Amino acid sequence: MRRPSAVLAALGLTALTLTGPAPSQAVTGNATVDDEHPYVALLVFYTEPAEPGGDPYSHRCTGSLLADRVTVVTAGHCTQGVDTGRAYFQTSPFPDYDPTAFGGRGGDTTTGYPYLGGTEFRDAANLGFGSRSLPDTGDLGVVVLDEPVTLERYAELPAPGAVDTYTSSSSAKRTVDFTLSGYGVSQVKPRVLVGQRLTARSQLVSDDSPVSEYHLKTSSNASQGKGGSCVGDSGGPVLAEGTDVLLAVVSFGRNDNCRGVEYSYRVDREETLAWIGDDGRVDAG
């Protein structure tokens, strides 16, 4: 998986205002097809076409459905400036193309963005992305589905401070494992779009500050048996290994090649948990 700058460009978003980072994309490196996390959704966002009958596609991200069956947690840069779209929970959602839509683009296998099926949404909110800066980017978003989706399992919100508790369980930070899941390209050059939900294991980076107040830093070095995120994976879950506990959402990386250090925005902060649980949550735009 990977993220936005490269990811932002790949997602059709504007450049990040975060001193250089590139929002995330799709799971890459040592990834496998994900049949284990049914609550992980492909989110396809639409905007008003420039011309009548034009293509409304804007960008795509990944998100995690909570037990209320309508709230999907994702990244704030995914929901910034957009409200409508569709959520797909299939392992391979792309067969839902409409091959005749928008002059055939709806069935374009080079883009992989479906226009049929899925569950619609018209309500998306952004905690603060675009109005904040590092270290607190406010890169958390929520999508509210028009209709509830019933699944066998759902993502679980963490207890406040769960990231600190989880990462302090090992004296060697680099041995702390996380599970990633998402939709996106599995390779950047050349770009390879697999059209499936993928999952991989990732670990904290072995530097002096792998965990900050707002972010986790993980490594995607495939040569060390790890996986990472890439274009299309933005907003995807960073789970405590072997659980459905959503510790963070994939946010941004430091290069456009879906390699190296990746940053995920923490969900376990009291502010973020309160905002997610508030039906009257304020949308930063």
CATH number, domain with residue 180 = 2.40.10.10
pLDDT of residue 55: 73
Q: Note whether residue 12 is domain-resident.
A: no
Instruction: Confirm if 42 and 66 have CB atoms less than 8 A apart.
Output: no
pLDDT of residue 1: 37
Q: Note whether residue 237 is domain-resident.
A: yes
- Based on the fold, state whether residues 136 and 201 are members of the same structural domain: no
Q: Note whether residue 143 is domain-resident.
A: yes
- Based on the fold, state whether residues 124 and 192 are members of the same structural domain: no
Residues 6+ apart with CB under 8 A from 238: 178, 179, 180, 202, 216, 218, 246, 247, 248, 249, 250, 264
- Based on the fold, state whether residues 144 and 235 are members of the same structural domain: no
Instruction: Confirm if 61 and 224 have CB atoms less than 8 A apart.
Output: no
**Count of domains observed in the chain:** 2
- Based on the fold, state whether residues 148 and 193 are members of the same structural domain: no
Q: Note whether residue 8 is domain-resident.
A: no
The secondary structure of 13-50 as a DSSP string is PPPPSSSS-EEB---BSS-EE--S-TTEEEEEEE---S
Examine the pLDDT at 239 and tell me if it is beyond 90.
yes
Per-residue pLDDT tens for 145-174? 999 999 999 999 999 999 999 988 765 555
- Based on the fold, state whether residues 197 and 248 are members of the same structural domain: yes
Q: Note whether residue 70 is domain-resident.
A: yes
pLDDT of residue 145: 98
What range defines the domain where residue 184 resides?
A: 162-269
Examine the pLDDT at 107 and tell me if it is beyond 60.
no
Q: Note whether residue 114 is domain-resident.
A: yes
Lowest mean pLDDT among 47-61, 77-91, 115-129: 47-61
- Give the residue with greater pLDDT, 277 vs 49: 277
Q: Note whether residue 24 is domain-resident.
A: no
- Based on the fold, state whether residues 50 and 105 are members of the same structural domain: yes
- Based on the fold, state whether residues 150 and 173 are members of the same structural domain: no
Examine the pLDDT at 76 and tell me if it is beyond 60.
yes
pLDDT of residue 191: 45
Strands (E), 53-208: 57-65, 71-74, 84-88, 119-126, 141-145, 177-187, 192-204
- Based on the fold, state whether residues 47 and 108 are members of the same structural domain: yes
Lowest mean pLDDT among 47-61, 67-81, 189-203, 221-235: 221-235
- Based on the fold, state whether residues 135 and 183 are members of the same structural domain: no
Q: Note whether residue 135 is domain-resident.
A: yes
Main-chain dihedrals φ then ψ at residue 253, nearest 5 degrees:
-130, 170
Q: What average pLDDT does range 51-68 have in this prediction? A: 86
Instruction: Confirm if 229 and 24 have CB atoms less than 8 A apart.
Output: yes
Examine the pLDDT at 73 and tell me if it is beyond 90.
yes
Lowest mean pLDDT among 5-9, 98-102, 224-228, 252-256: 5-9
Closest CA to 234 of 30, 14, 4: 4
- Based on the fold, state whether residues 126 and 183 are members of the same structural domain: no
- Based on the fold, state whether residues 77 and 136 are members of the same structural domain: yes
Compute the distance between CA of residue 68 and CA of residue 45 in angstroms, rounded to an integer. Answer: 22
- Based on the fold, state whether residues 215 and 173 are members of the same structural domain: yes
